[in-house]
Amino acid sequence: MGWRFRKSFGFGGFRTNLSGKGVGSSFGLFGFRFGVTAEGKKYWSFGIRGTGLYYIKYY
């Protein structure tokens, strides 16, 4: 497995992610998020805040 890079910037419910593949963005509150990856895939996710556990569904 190789090294990966990711940096996130957030303001309120909006988040911008910078990675080696490009720029993605998402919006969400209270553990639920909707977004688009740097490759253009749309997704929604939800997780348990503070644990790192989450579910993600691409469509």
What pLDDT is recorded for position 1? 59
**In the 8-state DSSP scheme, what is residue 30?**
T
The token duo for 23 is 């720029």
pTM for the model: 0.75
What pLDDT is recorded for position 52? 85
d(CA 19, CA 37): 10
Domain ranges of the chain: 6-58
Residues 6+ apart with CB under 8 A from 8: 15, 16, 17, 18
What pLDDT is recorded for position 16? 95
Instruction: List the chain residues with pLDDT less than 70.
Output: 1
Q: Find out whether 44 and 36 touch, Cβ atoms under 8 Å.
A: no
d(CA 52, CA 59): 22
